[in-house]
Chains A and B, each alone.
Chain A
Amino acid sequence: MMPLQLQVIAVILAFVFFLLTIQLVRKGRAEVRQMKKWLLLAVIMLIGALIPGVGTRIAKMLGIVNLTSLALFTLTGVLLVFALNAHMSLINAERQIKVLTQELSLLKKEVREATEDEQ
């Protein structure tokens, strides 16, 4: 059984996180397709905080002492995957910038030489 104080804190945190993700989409700072995993996480957190009984039952089924441990364990795993994904996106963006820089620079060289030839 989750202590009431902890449940209140969890509900507030989950609700704030849910609102934050919605606000980011509403203000046009991110698209739904980019934010859907965070929205899903926010909904799961909210359900977990509002109906702790479900989480407690799952924790017991998995042999984990309580819901708090299950939540910490799951969130750490999820955040690790998210961090790796974010890093991969950054590496891809870096690679794309490199290719664009190379292509643009080679193109600029051709334009410069063509202009010099004309003169």
Chain B
Amino acid sequence: MKKEKILLIIPAYNESEGIVGVIKKVEVYCEKSDYKIDYLVINDGSTDDEEEILLSHRIKHVELVQNLGIGGAVQTGYLYAKRNNYDIAIQFDGDGQHDIESLPHLIDPIINGEADFTVGSRFVADSISDFKSTGARQLGIKILSLLIKWTSKIKIKDVTSGYRAGNRKVIEQFAERYPSKYPEPESYMHLFAKNIRVQEVGVQMFERTTGESSINLRKAIGYMIDVSLSILIAALLAKED
């Protein structure tokens, strides 16, 4: 039986404090796992000593020569996955919020042909995640989820989750086109336009223990306006037959 080549794309910006711990867990998991998993850290032009730490610990990584933001960093991973013929690419945060043990929940539906793209969710029934984010963020997520449902008729509960996996079709698409800022919600509209089958699966997530979130309260309103507009305009994308 053919074993799928799987790539974990791990974007990390100024994560020098926690990245070694995250990668240690990933390496232990890859070692014991039946899957054939590689990982690639994308150092998004960090200004702390993340690069030195990645080099000294011999962690497989790409250092972006300048900061591209989360979208550009993740897309670099998809580009790498495409060029190196990976069958499945998984986005996995470098801040330790994602539980590596939940990986099979994302991979299995793709391997079994039930989905082209899976989303690790905190809000579906089979999620064992205690961490659900703050009330304000949950409200924002609900509004965006409703907007996606309204425009596409498809329900995704955890629209901002960055724990996601895609097959070759998705790798091809995201290597070609991936939103640069706040990419997750908008990218669903791009996937739906290409008739990509998306499945939401329960995963475990943790609260970040190191570093700082890229979205603070001050940016929240701008975020909601930007993302809502992106979803509405992306809804006009021509659907493939």
Cross-chain contact B62 with A109 (CB below 8 angstroms): yes
User: Which residues of the other chain, A, contact B47 by a CB distance below 8 angstroms?
Assistant: none
User: Which residues of the other chain, B, contact A74 by a CB distance below 8 angstroms?
Assistant: none
User: Which residues of the other chain, A, contact B63 by a CB distance below 8 angstroms?
Assistant: 105, 108-109
For window 104-119 of chain A, which residues contact chain B by CB distance below 8 Å?
104-106, 108-109
Cross-chain contact A98 with B68 (CB below 8 angstroms): yes
Cross-chain contact A106 with B80 (CB below 8 angstroms): yes
A92 within 8 A of B: no
A85 within 8 A of B: no
For window 68-122 of chain B, which residues contact chain A by CB distance below 8 Å?
68, 72, 75-76, 79-80, 83
Contact partner of A105 (CB less than 8 A), chosen from B65, B83, B180, is B65
User: Which residues of the other chain, B, contact A98 by a CB distance below 8 angstroms?
Assistant: 68, 72, 180
User: Which residues of the other chain, B, contact A102 by a CB distance below 8 angstroms?
Assistant: 64, 68, 72, 75-76, 79
Report the count of interface residues on B (CB-CB < 8 A). 14
Cross-chain contact A101 with B65 (CB below 8 angstroms): yes
**B interface, over-half SS:** mixed
Complexed CA–CA distance, A97 and B67 (Å): 11
Nearest CB in chain B: distance from A96 CB, A: 12
User: Which residues of the other chain, B, contact A104 by a CB distance below 8 angstroms?
Assistant: 65
Complexed CA–CA distance, A101 and B76 (Å): 9
Number of A-B residue pairs having CB atoms within 8 Å of each other in the complex? 32
**A interface, over-half SS:** helix
User: Which residues of the other chain, A, contact B61 by a CB distance below 8 angstroms?
Assistant: 109
User: Which residues of the other chain, B, contact A106 by a CB distance below 8 angstroms?
Assistant: 62, 76, 79-80, 83
B66 within 8 A of A: yes
Complexed CA–CA distance, A81 and B63 (Å): 39
User: Which residues of the other chain, A, contact B80 by a CB distance below 8 angstroms?
Assistant: 106
Complexed CA–CA distance, A95 and B71 (Å): 12
New A-B pairs, 7, CB < 8 Å, besides A97-B66, A101-B68: A98-B180, A101-B65, A102-B64, A105-B63, A105-B64, A108-B63, A109-B63
Interface pairs (15), CB distance under 8 Å:
A98-B72, A101-B64, A102-B68, A102-B72, A102-B76, A102-B79, A105-B62, A105-B63, A105-B64, A105-B65, A106-B76, A106-B79, A106-B80, A109-B61, A109-B63
